[in-house]
Amino acid sequence: MTDIKSMDLCQLTEYLSQAGEKKFRAKQIYEWLHSKHVRNFEEMSNLPKNLRTYLVEQCELVSLNTVKVQESKTDGTRKYLFALSDGNLVESVLMRYKFGNSVCISSQVGCRMGCRFCASTLDGLERSLKPSEMLDQIYAIARDTGERISNVVVMGTGEPLDNFENLIQFIKLLSNEDGLNISQRNITVSTCGIVPEMIRLADEKLQITLAISLHAATDEKRKALMPIANRYTIQELLKACRYYFDMTGRRLTFEYSLVGGVNDTDVDATELIHLLKGMNCHVNLIPVNPIKERDYVESGNAQVVAFKNKLEKNGINVTIRREMGRDIDGACGQLRRRHSQEQQSGGSEL
């Protein structure tokens, strides 16, 4: 079956011309898929019956099924658990900010990067998501809420640069004017730092924001938290960041999850300042969200504020990420994991 929703307009036009269809049909179908977000071919009411039948027989229309929605009582954040057509589950989050709605999507089912504090990676990688499966997380949320979505962050489960081609196609479809038309400047991709893929991404010259999960200022500390640090040093990582900036003109974001007693001391702040001094960047501090499988603890509030102040005093742009949806398993991979475990143990209160 052809995954028609992963095609851009050119590919769709080419595909339909092989079936003897005119060019304008591609545009009509593209609109049904990416602007009206229909869930089956029968709804494409301006297509002739024989074309609809052809599509039903030849194509798959990827559309996720909502398994569970949880809404935070404190900040309106909505967390979705979706089922893919093969039964795999992915999670996505809608965050409502003053500046607009932001959706956080998953790029893979599971993850093989092995970061120590992250729940998404505990069972390894199942498979990568197709462009259509990434897109439909956003479409499903738009359908569900009827609200406009202005920002997308690829910060859910998975390592986006471990799914490179599909990620690029997804970004192109998402920012296309005949689809949701989300500006690339409002799309952020977060990576644990796969250096060669960062360089490849820079060469694509997209206008997206690249966020790097740094989490430590020395190789030794980073290796203890993130296996990827055994493959690339921080210096190699920063070199790739500078290349990304040179190619795109986009300021980088560094994510730094503060883990109590591990990377949140005054010395850690000093080392981080030393590392980032003079770089055009922004630091996002995230108090670690403890997962029960590991014994990492959150930094105390005073520690977080002291860390932030020290960076700020030294001229580094820094924000503390507002923790949204903590009451609803907001951290990567937690909802999917809990759901699967409850299914296995027979009872589910979800």
Known catalytic residues? 91, 332
The dihedral region occupied by 345, where left means phi > 0, alpha psi between -120 and 50, and beta the remainder, is alpha
Of 10-18, 114-122, 123-131, 266-274: span binding ligand SAH (CB under 6 A): 114-122
Using CB under 6 A, pick the residue from 285, 288, 304, 335 that binds ligand SAH: 288
Q: Which residues contact 11 (CB under 8 A, 6 or more apart)?
A: none
Our CB check for ligand SAH shows the closer of 122 and 273 to be 122
Phi, psi of 110 (to 5 degrees): 75, -170
Tell me if 95 contacts ligand SAH by CB under 6 A: no
Residue that the structure tokens 């991709």 belong to: 189
Using CB under 6 A, pick the residue from 93, 238, 286, 328 that binds ligand SAH: 286
**Alpha-carbon span 94 to 49, nearest angstrom:** 37
Our CB check for ligand SAH shows the closer of 63 and 120 to be 120
Shortest distance, position 138 Cβ to ligand SAH, whole Å: 16
Type of residue at 93: V
Tell me if 213 contacts ligand SAH by CB under 6 A: yes
Shortest distance, position 345 Cβ to ligand SAH, whole Å: 23
Tell me if 190 contacts ligand SAH by CB under 6 A: yes
Q: Which ranges of 183-265 does DSSP label H, i.e. alpha helix?
A: 195-204, 219-225, 234-248
Our CB check for ligand SAH shows the closer of 91 and 136 to be 91
Of 75-83, 131-139, 274-282, 284-292: span binding ligand SAH (CB under 6 A): 284-292
**Site for ligand SAH, residues 245 to 274, rule: CB under 6 A:** 255, 257
Per-residue binding string, ligand SAH, 303-332, x by CB under 6 A, is ----------------------------xx
Our CB check for ligand SAH shows the closer of 61 and 332 to be 332
Phi, psi of 154 (to 5 degrees): -95, 80
**Alpha-carbon span 26 to 17, nearest angstrom:** 9
The answer to whether 229 and 259 are in contact (CB under 8 A) is no
Pairing between strand 100-104 and 89-97?
Answer: antiparallel
- Report in angstroms the alpha-carbon separations of 173 from 31, 184, 209, 221, 321: 12, 11, 17, 38, 28
Tokens describing residue 187: 């799309």
Our CB check for ligand SAH shows the closer of 36 and 231 to be 231
**Site for ligand SAH, residues 115 to 174, rule: CB under 6 A:** 115, 117-118, 155, 159
Shortest distance, position 91 Cβ to ligand SAH, whole Å: 12
Shortest distance, position 156 Cβ to ligand SAH, whole Å: 7
**Site for ligand SAH, residues 328 to 347, rule: CB under 6 A:** 331-332
Using CB under 6 A, pick the residue from 128, 248, 289, 303 that binds ligand SAH: 289
Q: Which residues contact 156 (CB under 8 A, 6 or more apart)?
A: 90, 91, 92, 93, 104, 105, 106, 107, 120, 332
- Report in angstroms the alpha-carbon separations of 345 from 10, 13, 87, 178, 342: 48, 48, 18, 45, 5
Contact residues for ligand SAH, defined by CB under 6 A: 113, 115, 117-118, 155, 159, 190-192, 213, 255, 257, 286, 288-289, 291, 331-332
